[in-house]
Amino acid sequence: MSNYIKLTRLTKEQENALAYRKLRFSADPVPAAPPRLHSDNAFMNHEVDDDVNQLHFQFQGLPLKVQIDQFEQSQQTNPPIDGIIRLMWNGTVLNEPSQRYRTPVNPADFPFNLTLPAGLTDKAGKHELKYRINHGGNTGAVVTPLTVNVDREAPPPIKPTAPVTEITKEYLDLHGYIEVTAPLTQANKIGDVIRCWFGSRINDTVLVGSETLKSPITAPVFRLTKEMVGTEEIPKALWTDHTDRKGNRSAQSDRLHLDLVLTDPPVLVPAFVPLFDDDGVISLIDAQTVTGVGVGIKEQYVGYVSGRDYMQITWDGKVQQEKLITGFPVFTDVHFRDVYNGVAFKDDVPVGLRVRRGNKLYPDAGPLVTLVNKDLRRPGTINPEEPGPPDESLPKVTAKGTVTPEDNVIRKVDSSGPVTVTVLLYAGSKAGEEVQLYWNGVEVPVSAAPNEGGRYTVLGTEATGFEITFTVPWALVNESGNDIDTLVHYIAFDAVADGYAVSLPTEVDVQIHDVDVSDPVFQHLDEDFGYLNCNSVRRVSGGGLAIIVFIPPDAQLADQDIELVYQAYSDAAGITPIVGVTDKVNYKISVQESIDGVYINFPFAVFDQTGSAYGAVEYTVTLGGVPTKSDRHLVQVHMREGGGGSCVVPPLE
């Protein structure tokens, strides 16, 4: 018996349905729409000179909201299908985030919202974003990709250009502004923001202008106005930076440096050198002053601009530190080393003057020159860094009494004869130079015999190691009195010039009178520096100014007349007096003052004359018929305000 299947003929309607089914599933599937970026992090509007789908700098590297629109498979009804949507970045499927669905999906549930993780869009270039449809385990559905363009390259900054690089007052008055052009390159695109800056430092930068490009070939032009330029004549510059429409900002461009000449030039006369003008030569004494040789401008010149003009001085080719001119006369101090400049004697030393205002020097052609003469010749060797006085290279003296065995110790037993002082002849001595000895500041007299007493004339034939021998009369030692620090030194005078060298003093212990008195002390010394300065000055009854000197209690001084003497010195050792800068006060000490001590007002004028130097006070009193001198109080004096003027003392309260 045969088995067979009986085929049933399809109806016409069934045949049509089967034909449509074959046709329907033989057609190419419709690709799913590409993913979209949410409006919160949307692409930038397209410009014709740029690629599409540009992601702005502010979104690059951050999480991005992505939306998936309805796709065909989501509407399958019979049977329902479960599925998963996953994002894909440059062909790689991302496990997270994902979106599950079950068909048919309500159209109102679209779009699906997923988040592209951070850290993917911070790489420059074209990237592909799409999603994979896992439809019931089948992943072959075609999805149209979305191109994401990430641009992280800023346009290059271009150095700006201007019609002038020297900005003058006349130009600004005529035009009112300066046109500044920021050239473009092929890297510039529509939407780039070009900014132009002007200034000298970060904290005084001015934004000249900002322009967004509407054309990639038309260079923007900015206006640097008169108000932006200001009035300072200091070096300034223009520069640009460029930011593309994606937010990539360039570095600053190279700077276009500008010279600002906004005032009338000064009308100068040659430099003023007072120490030359007074006698026609810069002497050794002139150059050895504490502050050096003053050079400057005597009177206000035409075209002076307060707060902006700097004086520049050159001495024999040596450039001195410039100085802001705040008033007239104005000086700068030329140090001895530059005055000397390796040559002790020279005619026609050029001294130059210029004024700097901002970045410009006047006169343009070079300094105005004054020719001065100098004569710094002196015995011994000149040390340009320590010119003296005193001169540390000179040998020091040794004093010897007739009986006392110790050097530099003089006692009453030595009164039988003069004190002998010896000193090694200094190196480099020349015939005709004279060496004069001083005992406690007093010139030792010359003896009747040649080269004896207190002066020696160099013969020029002395052997190496030769010692000069001086004799100091006992009467001079006795008159000088007791002083454990009696200063003994000498001055060596040049044979042909007015210059001289001063030795360091030797301190000789002289105790020849059985008398010792209390020593005077300057009051109100500066707490920080120990100087006798403007803060030490007091306004006393009657409105006068004074320096206060205190003499401590001393019973010997009761009802005694004292002569209080002040002397100014040019050196810290107090051996070279400043001629004429001295004063004295005669005072009778009462019995009560000898018990309590006494404050004596010393007139201020002599301290004002001292200026910045040194000064000492001491007094002499006659006790038992013997003149007795106190020890002196030697201090540094600085009676000049910061601007160089005399002290300003407030009124008496």
Range 607-618 average pLDDT: 96
pLDDT score of 332 more than 60: yes
- Residue that wins the pLDDT comparison between 542 and 177: 177
The pLDDT-based confidence of 526 (bands split at 50, 70, 90) is very high
Range 183-190 average pLDDT: 88
Q: Which of 394-403, 423-432, 643-652 has the lowest mean pLDDT?
A: 643-652
> Does domain 398-511 match CATH 1.20.58?
no
Q: What is the pLDDT of residue 411?
A: 95
pLDDT tens for 374-399 read: 999 999 889 899 888 899 999 999 99
Q: What is the pLDDT of residue 465?
A: 94
Q: How far apart are CA 180 and CA 141, in angstroms?
A: 58
Range 321-330 average pLDDT: 95
Range 203-211 average pLDDT: 90
Instruction: Specify which residues 240 forms β-bridges with.
Output: 196
> Does domain 19-150 match CATH 3.30.70?
no
Q: Do domains 19-150 and 398-511 have the same CATH topology?
A: yes
pLDDT tens for 142-156 read: 999 999 999 888 888
DSSP string, 515-550: ---PPPEE-S--TTT--EEGGG-EE-TTS-EEEEEE
CATH of domain 166-261: 2.70.50.50
Q: What is the pLDDT of residue 584?
A: 97
- Residue that wins the pLDDT comparison between 215 and 407: 407
> Does domain 521-638 match CATH 1.20.1510?
no
In three-state form (DSSP H/G/I as H, E/B as E, the rest C), the secondary structure along 93-162 is EEEEEEEEEECCCCHHHCCEEEEECCCCCCCCEEEEEEEEEEECCECCCCECCEEEEECCCCCCCCCCEC
Q: What is the pLDDT of residue 447?
A: 79
pLDDT score of 24 more than 90: no
The pLDDT-based confidence of 451 (bands split at 50, 70, 90) is low
pLDDT tens for 463-495 read: 999 999 999 999 999 998 888 889 999 999 999
pLDDT score of 650 more than 60: yes
> Does domain 274-375 match CATH 2.40.50?
no
Average pLDDT in the chain: 91
Q: Where are the domains of the chain?
A: 19-150, 166-261, 274-375, 398-511, 521-638
Tell me the helix, strand and coil percentages in the chain, rounded to 5. 15, 40, 45
The pLDDT-based confidence of 356 (bands split at 50, 70, 90) is very high
